[in-house]
């Protein structure tokens, strides 16, 4: 069997069971590891300056297990204060591919529903209240919990990768899908992120 990865940014290191296997390609951002025995592998994908992605994935005989929508997020994203008024952002609970809907049935849980399949999946729960939720991509949500701004993947195989991206005092967040930037309103200042998606 095999494992296929597609990762942003390019040139990420891929480890299987703690051992370095290879880097993702600079063009195409992908890597295929084949000739693997059928079993579950501990995967870690990392790149300097970015949060690592980890998951246990099962390889079956004569089949390729795919993880195609992996995004590594910067450990220290850069934010600058801007004087522009708060941007007009349309908060949408529906992903751009219209296949997923983010739901917050209460202040502490995030669920994702798949209307076409009439399926609903519990994503995560927190002890603090969850603020605004936006679709960062069709496979990642961005939201704030207390003072922390978090990014969570929508791949529920094994563990859920949730990254504490940055911390602000009582933030209100706005994600602009158009320019792929995060706006954070905190203590009367409006901050603008660098591009979070490679």
In this predicted model, what pLDDT tens digit does every residue of 107-135 receive, in sequence order?
999 999 988 888 888 989 999 999 989 99
The pLDDT value recorded for residue 92 is 65
Determine how β-strand 64-71 pairs with β-strand 2-8: parallel
**Cα 73 from Cα 52, distance rounded (Å):** 8
Rounded to the nearest angstrom, the gap between the alpha carbon of residue 176 and the centroid of all alpha carbons in its chain is 16
pLDDT tens readout for residues 132-171: 899 998 899 999 999 999 999 988 788 889 999 999 999 9
Tell me if 96 sits within 8 A of 32, measured CB to CB. no
Please indicate whether residue 95 or residue 56 has the higher confidence score (pLDDT).
Answer: 56
Distance of CA 90 to the CA centre of its chain: 20
3-state SS of the chain: helix, strand, coil percent to 5? Answer: 0, 55, 45
For residue 3, the model assigns a pLDDT of 97
Distance CA 80, CA 174 (A): 15
Q: Give the pLDDT score at 87.
A: 60
Nearest of 162, 153, 160, 156 to residue 119 by alpha carbon: 156
Torsion of CA 148, 154, 159, 162, to 10 degrees: -10
Angle (nearest 5°) at CA 57 between 51 and 62: 135
- Please enumerate in sequence order all residues whose Cβ is within 8 A of that of 48, keeping only pairs 6 or more positions apart, or say none: none
Per-residue pLDDT reduced to its tens digit, 77-103: 999 998 866 565 556 678 888 889 998
| C-alpha closest to that of 112 among 94, 128, 129 | 94
CA 162 to CA 155: how far, in whole Å? 11
Q: What band does 198 get if pLDDT is binned at 50, 70 and 90?
A: confident
Are the beta carbons of 92 and 103 closer than 8 angstroms? no
């Amino acid at each position: 069997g095999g494992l296929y990865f597609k990762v942003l940014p390019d040139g990420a290191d891929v480890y299987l069971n703690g051992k370095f296997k290879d880097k993702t390609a600079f063009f195409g951002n992908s890597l295929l590891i084949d000739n693997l025995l059928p079993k579950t592998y501990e995967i870690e994908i990392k790149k300097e300056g970015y949060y690592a992605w980890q998951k246990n994935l099962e390889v079956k005989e004569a089949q390729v297990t795919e993880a195609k929508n992996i995004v590594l997020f910067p450990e220290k994203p850069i934010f600058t204060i801007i004087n522009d008024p708060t941007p007009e952002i349309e908060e949408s609970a529906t992903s751009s591919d219209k296949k997923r809907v983010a739901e917050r049935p209460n202040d502490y849980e995030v669920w994702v529903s798949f209307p076409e399949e009439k399926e609903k999946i519990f994503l995560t729960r927190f002890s603090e209240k969850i603020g605004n939720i936006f679709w960062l991509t069709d496979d990642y949500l961005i939201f704030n919990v207390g003072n922390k701004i978090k990014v969570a993947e929508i791949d529920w195989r094994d563990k859920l990768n949730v990254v504490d991206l940055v911390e602000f005092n009582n933030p209100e967040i706005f994600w602009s899908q158009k320019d792929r930037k995060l706006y954070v309103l905190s203590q009367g200042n409006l901050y603008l992120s660098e591009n979070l998606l490679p």
